Structure 1
Amino acid sequence: MTTRSILQVFDRYQKERVAFVQNIAELAIRPQNVDVLHQAHVLELLRPLLTDICVQIQQCAIIALGRLVNHDVRVAQQILTQDFIPLLIHNIDKKNKYYKKAVLFVLRSLCKHDAEMATIVVSSSGALEALLICLEDFEPIVKENAAWALGYIARHSPHLAQSVVDTGALPLLVLCLQEPEIALRQIGASALSDIAKHSVDLAQSVVDAGAVPHLAKSLNNPDEKLKRQILAGLSKSNVKL
């Protein structure tokens, strides 16, 4: 066989993998498809694709995973028990913004279900550190999704909120309030609110991080959703301007 014919075998194999994972990601959009996909062992088929040699396949597999987790608690539990998280966050600092965004979607979807799942994510080796790396990212969309995930963790309980504080996330969330992107400021304010609402001590941590002046300044912004997030944060933390 010639070199060209040999390489064509690999090319066809990659195209088929791309087509498969794209179809799974599309099917995973609809909640009614999750049961059938789960019965077809979709997680076992997606797992090796998370470390595929092709970056496009990796990203599509993670997006599919996030959609499945978002729709179904059983899938979320399986992701946690089968240690998918270390695979997802490995070398995340070296990945592109699309990969990071997809991973953050998975983490956020896991954490939103309940406090137990959020606790498992927090206790997973490197998960909170990965969120902080993404919160420091240059790309606003990555910061936004990291802040969103941290807010989902913090909202469940004082203990989880304290875990977010202990990682050093507060100064980075305060920086989100100073960014030009409205969506990033909204989510940053929401995450701070989710931390502050639990106790006076946590509210004081938000104050000590310097959040109040930036929250107050943003009240002048015409965006109504941003104002609601800020007022919620201030009221829950019992902070008086």
Structure 2
Amino acid sequence: MQKRKTTMQLAQLVVNTGGCGPLVELLSEGAGGSRVPACMALGYIAGQSDQLAMAVIEAKAVVILVEILQNNECEDAELCAAAWTLGHIAKHSPQHSLAVAVANALPRLLQVSNEHY
């Protein structure tokens, strides 16, 4: 149980120190291979608790994640990371799911899923 508490504390530390904003900037830049690690970090943070997921939403990550999904030039790793992160954001409550749905992520998520399976 100590490990879970520690990971939650680390995610909270990133949020408390303003780390979500720079991670979202890395997502939007997408240069130098930084997009997938930034995306995974945001998903990891969002997956820890509903409050941390809300912080990721408030950092405007959902809009950028949907843009990644809708970009036909993105690599498969970027699409998978964006879908994974959106799932970790949406899983907590109807309010979290609504933030993903309002950003129009669902049609593209379905399309990507059907293309790869």
The answer to whether TM tops 0.5 is yes
Mapping 1:1-241, distance limit 5 Å:
114-124=7-17, 126-139=18-31, 141-179=33-71, 180-222=74-116, 224=117
TM, length-normalised to structure 2: 0.87
- Higher relative contact order at CA 8 Å, sep ≥6: structure 1 or structure 2? 2
Deviation digits for residues 41-88 of structure 1 (CA, Å, limit 9, x no counterpart): xxxxxxxxxxxxxxxxxxxxxxxxxxxxxxxx8xxxxxxxxxxxxxxx
Tell me how far apart the structure 1 counterparts of residues 106 and 23 of structure 2 sit (CA, whole Å). 23
Displacement, 1:143?
Answer: 1.3
Could you say if the C-alpha distance between residues 130 and 151 of structure 1 is closer, same or farther in structure 2, counting changes exceeding 3 Å?
A: same
List runs of 5+ in structure 2 lacking aligned partners: none
Q: Give the fraction of aligned pairs with identical amino acids, expressed as a percent.
A: 33
Structure 1 segments, 4+ long, off by >4 Å, are none
Taking the aligned partners of 1:220 and 1:127, their CA distance within structure 2 comes to: 34
RMSD: 1.6
Distance 2:105 2:30 in 1: 21
Deviation at 1:130, TM superposition (A): 1.0
For 1:214, the aligned partner's letter is: R
Deviation at 1:138, TM superposition (A): 3.4
- AA aligned to 1:201 is Q
CA deviation after TM superposition for structure 1 residue 140, in Å: 6.8
> What is the distance in 2 between the residues matched to 1:171 and 1:144?
16
CA separation in 2, counterparts of 1:138 and 1:162?
23
C-alpha displacement at 1:141, in angstroms? 2.1
> TM-score normalized by structure 1?
0.44
How many aligned residue pairs are there?
111
Q: Quick check: which has more Rg, 1 or 2?
A: 1
SS at match of 2:12: helix
